[in-house]
Amino acid sequence: MKTKMKEGWMPSKETITNMMSSCPEVNIQYEKDKFVDYYLANGGVSANWEATFRNWIRRADEYRVRNDKSTGHSATSTDSVQKRRRRILSVAKRTDTESDGNNKRLSKD
């Protein structure tokens, strides 16, 4: 029998542990909060909330993997962020001959 999610629903500790192990890159707490809010707000029903939650976490992991590889967009990847930080720091430290006295121009290196 399908039921609506009840206020205060929590996945079991076993489910959380298993999902942390099988999907280590997923922020389980954040996804749990999104999951509960989504189903409480939309009045969804499920025959098994634990299974529905496990599938939510797996989809979050699949989405993360797909977006990391398929879009080619690495603007938020750790490596990309570190490269931008190094570039900004190098500009901030050097005297720039293209400066108008107030603004430094980034070179294209």
Structural domain boundaries in the chain:
3-72, 74-109
pLDDT of res. 71: 46
Across the range 17-21, mean pLDDT stands at 96
Q: How far apart are CA 97 and CA 91, in angstroms?
A: 11
DSSP assignment, residue 71?
A: S
> What percent of the chain clears pLDDT 70, i.e. is strictly above it?
74
> In the chain, helix, strand, coil percent, each to 5?
60, 5, 40
The per-residue pLDDT for range 42-51, each reduced to its tens digit, is: 999 999 999 9
pLDDT of res. 56: 97
Res. 11: pLDDT tops 80: yes
Res. 34: pLDDT tops 50: yes
Res. 30: pLDDT tops 90: yes
Question: 5: buried, middle or exposed (CB in 10 Å: 19+, 13-18, 0-12)?
Answer: buried
Across the range 18-26, mean pLDDT stands at 95
